[in-house]
Structure 1
């Protein structure tokens, strides 16, 4: 009876033989496989897996790989006859003419192995679903985690040549030298803050923290709105606390400049409706996306962001707020476990920023220790539940408004953005105007600003597939010369 080819797991015996033959032909070929991450379990034929395992053993002991050493190793393992003996090993060697294409064949072997694992994972998930699912949320979380573990075994890259790095460095410097501003990342829309940070850079985790009523959510919403409207950026906002409808009203209030209390009651005049219609049109045509699913895990967030990258591109992720997320680990209880969970979430958000090459802004709570001090301005030690947040973050900034604590303050309507940590630049304070009627922040007039110093940053901004009017990432040429940045770099 004919075998249904659809039920044969994906594999390529020819590619497996080519890899093993190349290893026998060239003792140094194994070093080319480090970026592929090829493993014993990636081979479909058991004999090939045993041969590759013996090769790995020889390499680990710094012994040459050839027919003689491989034969000895297999005999010591009592697997020589199992793999086909002398005739099969000789065939592998004789059928190989060059090791030049070992990376290409290794990728084929790896890709087929990933497909087999995906099929196996899918079967396990189907069986579990047929067996009965008590908690659908736990099942979906398990499914996503299982699939992520398969995708995480994809081809990986380790080293980059110094030539590659220098070409990127010089081209980036060309872009910076032709840039008339100091902003090299995604602009926040606030003059002094952009001068301080040079914008928000890909791969960075930015923590915005503050006590309740300081305006943390309003501040990051303002950044999201300015990035989406002024710079045509694609922005994902994960609101784990406020409903998307409430965020929508805040955005309308800020863009239309309509008092939030009047907007909430619907008591609007003709002029208000005109401004509201204009604001709604601007926001509707932007690439601003809001997800108000509560208690998200980072895995769930990662999955949704990947879809957004594919469909619309992505330039900025905002999370409101970190402590409302769930870790991926199950069964954690107690204060120590909660701190470990927050540490896991913090590390995962940083990893998400690096993977998708976008800045991630995460809001965070502060502990109540602030309230017991005469000076209520926050410090890094006030970050709630985990020192890992401070460790993982590239920037930690606090939102502080003195009028919340001191009704007789000399600075009514003024907010301080306190840069307590800045991995790529200086710390300090940026002063902004607080517009309570719109729950919005704006730049202060020149006479009320506090000097902030020059911004520091050295990455040209480019999000994940996000076409926009952001600073150009790597132009083809610049004032220093051709595409290699004016350096005479040799071709290897």
Structure 2
């Protein structure tokens, strides 16, 4: 409302809207470009939205959406008089726009639509905050963040559509054919381990991957290996939330693994000239990797979710790792038990992976179950704090090293990556080599 009590008009640009529709009524090339930018609800004037939708309906049916065809369609849907009649539709097509000007006009329409959505979101957030009580502050904060994110994205969805199963099958066949044409190429983010990638196809989009082990097995090192494979070897932007290690410690581990300089030499200040030479050779490429690290020890899940959404929209993040789950809290929202809190966090991590359409790796500790067994091998039931962690995960990888329990083990230097749950494929165990002095795991040498 303005100071004199009049309702404030929302942002809009009717001239740009008319220019967009004029271009679409004249050129099918314009339709192909504009449909990538605008939705019908981006138009301020309801008549313009109706005309836009009619144009797209005719275009989708392989028709020519000229003024006559659009008027005919609007007549069938009883909308012609509401949009201003034949005269209005014909008037839109009376002047030709400049070459390729329709892209600029469509962006102007979209910009004003985003402003309107932002105003609406701000008003709703204000109402939520006024009515809020302290115990629900996390829910309000998350709702506010989600509304702002939805309002500012360029092509927001409203209510997700329901798809006909026949259409879904066609999409599935296209995906199967595309995978086949790549002759075994990975469909997900490469882990860097040949047999593990062969089993899983890589870390898949929308999946929650749980990487779990007893303490001191090297689960953070293995998570860093996944990040190295994504960002250094394949140039895929990735994001690490580390609640335990400092960002410089993470950097040392990655530099040690990449340069083959012993980590304890870095930490103890005993690097020799050869170490410095190897480090200098790898430093430029490692420093240029699209890897982002957040090491706040006070991070909550609500903060991680907000930062993940923001960085994903800015940097097109392809992989997120959270290390580790047991140190993460949801926020100030109260839970009856830690079991319930971890259950909710794991559920929300799965939903976040699906929302962002990327894999999320959650590093988790195991309970003492393995130590009660003769072979010490972990099982799914050993996941600490929550059975829901197993339920929500699409892939569970349990890390086991015999030499962590028996120093003189004949399998010293070996580690088992036990795929204990694989929602879309078989389970198996991949044996890899553990090079602890370089803070990395690597494929076993082929005999």
Q: How high is the TM-score relative to the length of structure 2?
A: 0.71
Deviations 1:54-105 (A, max 9, x none): xxxxxxxxxxxxxxxxxxxxxxxxxxxxxxxxxxxxxx9996479xxxxxxx
Q: Which residue of 1 aligns with 2:44?
A: none
**Alpha carbons 1:369, 1:382 under 8 Å: kept:** yes
Q: Which residue of 2 aligns with 1:176?
A: 179
Among residues 123, 128, 145, which one is paired with 1:147 in the alignment?
145
Deviations 1:182-217 (A, max 9, x none): 522111111111111111110010000000110000
Is 1:119 matched up with 2:123?
Answer: yes
SS of residue paired to 2:228: helix
Give the direction of change, closer, same or farther, for the CA distance of 1:9–1:118 in structure 2 (3 Å limit). Answer: farther
Instruction: Give the Cα–Cα distance (whole angstroms) in 2 for the partners of residues 160 and 386 of structure 1.
Output: 34
C-alpha displacement of 1:149: 5.6
**Alpha carbons 2:396, 2:422 under 8 Å: kept:** yes
Q: Which residue of 2 aligns with 1:282?
A: 285
Paired residues for 1:282-361 under 5 Å: 282-328=285-331, 330-333=333-336, 337-361=337-361
Give the direction of change, closer, same or farther, for the CA distance of 1:120–1:10 in structure 2 (3 Å limit). Answer: farther
**Alpha carbons 2:2, 2:8 under 8 Å: kept:** no
Instruction: Give the Cα–Cα distance (whole angstroms) in 1 for the partners of residues 384 and 205 of structure 2.
Output: 26
Instruction: Give the Cα–Cα distance (whole angstroms) in 1 for the partners of residues 298 and 443 of structure 2.
Output: 34
SS of residue paired to 2:397: strand
Deviations 1:276-305 (A, max 9, x none): 122221111110010011242332112212
Q: Which residue of 1 aligns with 2:17?
A: none
Is 1:402 matched up with 2:402?
Answer: yes
Is 1:196 matched up with 2:161?
Answer: no
Q: Which residue of 2 aligns with 1:257?
A: 260
Paired residues for 1:15-26 under 5 Å: none
Instruction: Give the Cα–Cα distance (whole angstroms) in 2 for the partners of residues 6 and 287 of structure 1.
Output: 50
Paired residues for 1:239-258 under 5 Å: 239-258=242-261
**Alpha carbons 1:186, 1:227 under 8 Å: kept:** yes
**Alpha carbons 2:346, 2:392 under 8 Å: kept:** yes
Give the direction of change, closer, same or farther, for the CA distance of 1:295–1:386 in structure 2 (3 Å limit). Answer: farther
* 291-300 or 142-151, which deviates more: 142-151
C-alpha displacement of 1:9: 7.1
Q: How high is the TM-score relative to the length of structure 1?
A: 0.64
C-alpha displacement of 1:141: 8.1
Task: Give me the CA root mean square deviation.
Answer: 3.5
SS of residue paired to 2:312: helix
Q: Which residue of 2 aligns with 1:224?
A: 227
Deviations 1:412-456 (A, max 9, x none): 100000111101111111000000211210010123xxxxxxxxx
C-alpha displacement of 1:308: 1.4
Instruction: Give the Cα–Cα distance (whole angstroms) in 1 for the partners of residues 438 and 369 of structure 2.
Output: 30
Paired residues for 1:429-444 under 5 Å: 429-444=429-444
**Alpha carbons 2:240, 2:321 under 8 Å: kept:** yes
Q: How many residues align?
A: 353
Q: Which residue of 1 aligns with 2:421?
A: 421
* 164-173 or 360-369, which deviates more: 164-173
Instruction: Give the Cα–Cα distance (whole angstroms) in 2 for the partners of residues 142 and 319 of structure 1.
Output: 24
SS of residue paired to 1:185: coil
Instruction: Give the Cα–Cα distance (whole angstroms) in 1 for the partners of residues 385 and 8 of structure 2.
Output: 51
Q: Which residue of 2 aligns with 1:468?
A: none
Is 1:158 matched up with 2:156?
Answer: no
Q: Which residue of 2 aligns with 1:272?
A: 275
C-alpha displacement of 1:228: 0.7
Which protein, 1 or 2, shows the higher relative CO under an 8 Å CA cutoff with sep ≥ 6? 1
**Alpha carbons 2:254, 2:439 under 8 Å: kept:** no
* 274-283 or 202-211, which deviates more: 274-283
C-alpha displacement of 1:6: 9.6
Instruction: Give the Cα–Cα distance (whole angstroms) in 2 for the partners of residues 366 and 260 of structure 1.
Output: 26
Instruction: Give the Cα–Cα distance (whole angstroms) in 2 for the partners of residues 347 and 404 of structure 1.
Output: 32
Deviations 1:4-35 (A, max 9, x none): 799727499x9xxxxxxxxxxxxxxxxxxxxx
* 343-352 or 262-271, which deviates more: 262-271
**Alpha carbons 1:295, 1:324 under 8 Å: kept:** no
SS of residue paired to 2:160: coil
Q: Which residue of 2 aligns with 1:45?
A: none
**Alpha carbons 1:397, 1:421 under 8 Å: kept:** yes
Paired residues for 1:10-159 under 5 Å: 10=10, 96=82, 115-122=119-126, 143-148=141-146, 155-159=158-162
**Alpha carbons 2:419, 2:427 under 8 Å: kept:** yes
**Alpha carbons 1:10, 1:116 under 8 Å: kept:** no
Instruction: Give the Cα–Cα distance (whole angstroms) in 1 for the partners of residues 438 and 399 of structure 2.
Output: 17
C-alpha displacement of 1:275: 1.4
